[in-house]
Chains A and B, each alone.
Chain A
Amino acid sequence: MPGSLRVSVDTGGTFTDVIAVDSDSGDLYAVKTASDREDPSRALVTGVEKVLGLAGRGFDDVSLLVHGSTTATNAVLEHEFDGIGLLVTQGFRHLIEIARQSVPDGYGNSFFWVKPPRLVPLHLVREVPERILYDGAVARELDEDAVVTAAEELVAEGVNRLAVCLLHSYANPDHERRIGELLAQRFPELFVSLSSVVLPEYREYERAMTTLLDVMVKPYCRTYLGNAEAELTRRAGPRPFLIMQSNGGVVTAKAAGERPVNMLLSGPAGGVLGAIEAARAAGISDIITLDVGGTSTDVALIEDLTVRLTSESVVESYPVKIPMIDIATVGTGGGSLAWVGPNHSLKVGPRSAGAVPGPIAYGRGGTEPTVTDAATVLNRFPASLVGGELVLDRDSARAAFEDFGRRFGLDADEAAAGVLEVAAAGQVAGIRQVSTSKGRDPAAYTLVAFGGAGPLLAAQVADFLGMTRVLVPPYPGNLSAFGLQVTDIKRDLVRTYVSPLEPRVADDLDVIWRELEEAGAAELTAEGVEDDDVEVIRGADARYVGEGYEVAVSVPAGLTGRPALDATIAAFHAEHHRIYGFSYDGKQDVEVVNLRVQAVGRLHRPPHRSRYEAAGAAAPAPTTRDVYWPGEGWRPCTIHDRAALTPGTSVAGPGVVEEYGATVVVPPGWQVTCDPAANLILTKG
């Protein structure tokens, strides 16, 4: 009989965060353990043991385990590319070498830019005679003997992972499927990914790259997920073991291992989902998330509490076209180093002090000043962090900033304040990528700040952008792991179907949507989701006839036939206007490119009881210390323990709110209020 504990495990590069929530009582437990790069399953199991120990419970009490990871991305970034092969249509063996003929960045960089190594070297690419046309018609039958010969050659060359990407296979997957069958019969040891399964969308280079990345991480992901599941089953018996995907949903571990590319960009998803839940509790629907870690900052723009997906992502320089939460990342975090750049400029990041040696103030051997040291110098931090475990060496940090400032003719305070200003400006650039670049004014959104260093700079970042409200959720340092608790099972299905949106195609659209819905629902049922909890959402990627880029729209539920078609067109014009500021409603024709269905299996949200409630009565009284503010200098400020700011409490800045794992800075001109859900709401003016 499964118990009541929902456990979530967020595996990062350095630490594995684990949270357990009792779905009956709402009690919440959080622990951290060191990650294990080679086999993440070991740290995963250790972390679960640790959190159960803290809760005084056993494996029997676990009802559900959710796992999110950034390690699949690491597998790509650190992986040897050896042993990956590719089969393509005859005439296209240079597909990966050619890529899109792009040279990044500036004009004339083609003189000096060196193309990066390809995921698959040319000698491991083979052509197979066959040809399918854009409408799915077969122009040339598949030469099966040639497939077997090519595979034999590649295996002899040491290939153990093989991607298959044939032209127009999104329109007709028969040839790829047949190749899959032949390979399974002849080479059962070979890991194989078919592009028509991984990403049935047009654009052959991007589809091939996504398929290559999928097959590349397959052995690694399957192995560690399999190990984790076996170990958990051995101790707890069969329990749902769900894996976070790039689209913000979860799937079973088995399904995740089949299409591991969908795990690749799932790292920041937990935090975004956690931020959405905090905003929901605060009654706010439009937010920009600011997730500041040690080396980088992830930002996402959320409207109507709904994540927006993009398929324009890259890992290193490799495109990954799977739907993922639209996130921008900038290389500024709490551990980012301050340094003297070209032309004697004052730079912050992207190089970071990381966990080792870390900031100077941590006293673990760091010698170069960081953002964290700057905040330390200005007394934004208490004397020690993480509940007293880490005593800050303020004097060393100050000495470093005296040196650093001298190089610019600044005193230590000015230099430290400057480093925070430059760091904030870096985060501002990331927010503009997801807002103004897409036609949104950030001033209309609430900034939700989390991660260890998020609440430190949030108000300063907001100032740059004309934003006047910042939300800091409870336990901002653990929000990503918490976010894993509030997700749903999601499957994205897509099929390319290119056609003008004219009345004659309404029935075709219905047929395809229905097929996708049935396939999606069947997948969820197979994963144990009850019928009542299944929801299917129709969508389409459309464009004005002649454009090369599509806009994704959702189509209201319950519509079929002509009304569904009309709704799709109307939604397209509206979305185009929203993104670009103009549309051609009634003036230009619209065509559909892809039809999509998202099948969602709703998981019930656990209630959770704020740790602050219990602590409230015993919370320490406010204290006072001097804090430095640019333009004002040092002034005495009130320092609050977060637990003391009970719902309804409101205090004016300048001040600092401290808690385990995060520090909330409230600059002059801002005030902070605790809302009924224990969120801190910072407002300006």
Chain B
Amino acid sequence: MATTVLGPIELEVITGTIRSAEVEIEAAVERAARSPMIRDQHDYRVGLYDARGRKLTGRSYGSLIEPVFEFFGDDIHPGDVFFWNDPYNSAGSCGHVPDLCTTVPIFHGDDRLLGFAQVFGHHDDVGGCVPGSLPVQVHDQWGEGLVVPPIKLYDRGVLNETAFRILERNSRLPEHLRGDIDSEIGACRLGARRLTELADRYGVDVLEGGFDAIIENCARTVRDELLPKIADGVYTFEDYVECDGFTRKLYAMRLTMTKTADRILLDFTGTDPEAEGPINWAIDYCEGRFVRKWMGPVLRCLADSPERAAEIDINEGILDVIDVVFPPKGTLVTPHFGRPTGLRFFILIRALGIFAGALAKATGGRMPADHETIRIWGLHSRDTEGKLSLFREVLGGGGPGRPWADGSDVVHIVPNSRNLPAEFSEQRYPVLVESLELRSDSAGAGEFRGGFGYQKKIRSLRSSTLLSNADRSELATYGVNGGKAGWPYGIEVARGDGSTESLPGMIDGVPIAPDDLVTVWTTGGGGWGDPLRRDPERVRYDVAVGLVTEEAARREYGVVVTRVQGKVEIDEVATSELRDALRSGRGAVPMFDRGAYFESVKAGGGLVRPEGWSDPDDVHAVVDPATPAG
């Protein structure tokens, strides 16, 4: 279609092609990658960028292109493949060393740079002191695995075989690593072709005009549809990681959000000092472009419906709406070079949570509660020939209660992430899955309760070593607008001698004997809204199917049930009386509930806030919020 100017038709085709190219690149990664962490758990991200490194795709966050410019300047040519996993030298765009990032420049003809295609994925193993490359007790990033600064893995089409060999030699699972990298490069090249085809069809100028419009449209959507739902003002919120692998205490991430008519300023000043262990997150590079794009999608919760929320892509345009301010070097989000970062996913999820919490305060409570969905547990062992078996699962947790629905059960924030079927695990690994269930009472109570977490029991069939990389094993997912906190994570081992050992959330190197039974419980989602307003029929159903105990139905919801010939029925009178009693016996309902452990730490003086920083939780629920979103 011959054309020289960008019109609505060209823009629609360009937008649609880029959106479907993102899906196409994802499909290509997933089909050919080798690491279960990428193929099943879907822990990888893809992106298309323009020649200035601006992100065009928006289904998910991505890494950055800036490291290419910083390390290679104009030395960018057809056939190049850039590669890195260095959390610090990648401008903070790779959070931890198992994330290997592959970037392919896209050219129209021989010399016109159109943009970049990028894939990064969480690989099974890149060395370091623990199989899986996520050690809990590690003092610096050199103990976490091989660190690769930005390099050219291919230079004008020629493979840097030496680099590849070093990479492979440093992995306990080299065949996985090789397969993953091959798949990522192939997928990038596929994505690159989509942009060159568009340039062929419409010309480079029209295409680049389309890039500008795609980015502007993101900013406009956020400004026009989402920002008007947030009251202008200054709001603070904070949340915590409970342990850094060495010391158990509250590690606070703090946020001051300033909302004006058309912008949001996120200021992390007040965040606690950097940790000795691997819970640091190096995001204070490149004007915080990575973290601004990472946090932007939370705003979608304010869309008119969940369906509309899913349509809104967050690309580089969000930088026009969200600004960021970092504290000086030396905090959890501004760590000094070389601090360990392997388990930075706790604080990365906290970042979303504190933004959502500040937005809850700015919207009269009309935001989802909290959920915690990334944690890894596993068993590794070697067979008689010394071959490594690495069984790791990313088990989801209960989703958040929100003004329009209960939390979904056992969800994962990573899209399309899948759990491992028992029938697969038992074929592949020396384990027996005794049961896989939802964990009763784990969901935070609320008018819309949280989703339930897992209760999984697995028997190890040979001597192995257990690892658990989990936060929120004592702190809970917070409830919003009168909703209650969910239950935290737990892991324990029942030994052959009849003893039971409860383990901390963050641990590795635990010896497991044949026939030991491991039980893992994952977090329930926080509840939304006053539980005493929950429809008693919904409480009754949860009791009838065993998801909520009768005791919890009384205690949390004020619902009294009876059993008539095996059927669970509501005792209307007793329920009405109990609800009245509970209502009159409590004071003002707080906006947030962080659970019993938090209250006990606070009471014990374990929560020390910076000078001048007041309690961000000191706000009440909005009893009858206006028509909720959705």
Contact = CB atoms under 8 A, between A and B. Distances in A.
Interface of A: 90-95, 97-98, 100-115, 122-123, 133-134, 167-168, 170, 202-205, 342-347, 408-410, 414, 417-418, 421-422, 425-426, 428-429, 432-433, 436-438, 464, 466, 498, 544, 546-549, 579-582, 584, 587-588, 630-631
Contacts, number: 243
A135 B16 CA distance: 47
Given A95-B436, A544-B34, A108 B419 contact: no
- Report the contact-size class of chain B (Cβ under 8 Å from the partner): 35 or more
B486 interface: no
B339 interface: no
14 contacts: A95-B436, A101-B411, A111-B300, A111-B301, A113-B306, A113-B408, A123-B545, A134-B427, A202-B424, A204-B423, A421-B13, A437-B27, A546-B175, A549-B31
B17 A408 contact: no
Nearest to B454: A98
Contact of B409 (A91, A98, A630): A98
A92 B352 contact: no
A203 B297 contact: no
A101 B412 contact: yes
B536 interface: no
Contacts of B395: 101
A123 B544 contact: yes
Contact of B422 (A92, A112, A347): A92
B412 A110 contact: yes
B247 interface: no
B9 A109 contact: no
B412 A346 contact: no
Given A107-B415, A111-B399, A544-B175, 19 more contacts: A91-B435, A97-B409, A97-B438, A101-B411, A101-B417, A107-B60, A108-B60, A111-B298, A115-B408, A167-B423, A202-B424, A343-B217, A343-B221, A344-B8, A429-B16, A464-B201, A498-B427, A548-B36, A631-B3
Interface in B1-32: 1-3, 7-9, 11-13, 15-17, 20, 24, 27-28, 31-32
A498 B544 CA distance: 40
Contacts of B311: 342
Interface string B405-418: 10011111111111
Contacts of A438: 31
B12 A582 contact: no
A111 B405 CA distance: 11
B604 interface: no
A408 B303 CA distance: 26
Interface string B382-405: 000000000000011001101011
Contacts of A98: 409-410, 419, 436, 438, 454
Nearest to B566: A153
Contact of A582 (B186, B371, B547): B186
Nearest to B24: A437
B415 A106 contact: yes
Contact of B28 (A97, A418, A437): A437
Contact of B413 (A110, A115, A466): A110
Contacts of A588: 175
Contacts of B402: 111-112
B404 A114 contact: yes
B422 A167 contact: yes
B483 to A, nearest CB: 14
A101 B28 CA distance: 22
Contacts of B11: 345-346
A579 B27 CA distance: 12
A549 B29 CA distance: 13
A410 B32 contact: no
B545 A122 contact: yes
Contacts of A110: 371, 373, 399-400, 408, 411-413
A580 B409 contact: no
A104 B415 contact: yes
B40 interface: yes
Interface in B205-231: 217, 220-221, 225
A619 B356 CA distance: 70
B310 interface: yes
B469 interface: no
Contacts of B34: 544, 546-547
A111 B400 contact: yes
Nearest to B60: A107
A107 B421 CA distance: 23
A94 B418 contact: no
Nearest to B352: A108
A109 B24 contact: no
Given A92-B436, A107-B297, A112-B309, A580 B31 contact: yes
Nearest to A205: B421
B468 interface: no
Nearest to A156: B566
B419 A91 contact: no
B424 A203 contact: yes
Interface string B48-72: 0000000000111100000000000
A202 B438 contact: no
A371 to B, nearest CB: 14
B175 A202 contact: no
Contacts of B416: 102-105
Contact of A343 (B17, B220, B421, B435): B220
Contacts of B310: 104-106, 109, 112-113
Given A113-B306, A343-B221, A94 B405 contact: no
B8 A345 contact: yes
Given A107-B61, A110-B408, A582 B182 contact: yes
Contact of B9 (A106, A111, A346, A587): A346
B470 to A, nearest CB: 16
B484 interface: no
B176 interface: yes
Contact of A108 (B24, B27, B297, B408): B297
B182 A548 contact: no
Nearest to B399: A110
A422 B418 contact: no
Interface centre among A108, A112, A122, A203 (most CB of B within 10 A): A112
A93 B182 CA distance: 40
Nearest to B14: A425
B408 A425 contact: no
Contacts of A580: 31-32, 183, 186
Nearest to B396: A101
Interface string B425-439: 011100011111110
Interface in B300-339: 300-301, 303, 306, 309-311, 313
A220 to B, nearest CB: 28
Contacts of A346: 8-9, 11-12
Given A114-B405, A418-B8, A548-B424, A436 B16 contact: no
A615 B1 CA distance: 37
Contacts of B415: 102-107, 109
Nearest to B436: A92
B361 interface: no
B270 interface: no
A93 B418 contact: no
Contacts of A94: 436-438
Contacts of A342: 217, 221, 225, 311
A166 B217 CA distance: 50
Closest 3 CB pairs of A and B: A91-B435, A418-B9, A107-B60
A312 to B, nearest CB: 11
A342 B304 CA distance: 13
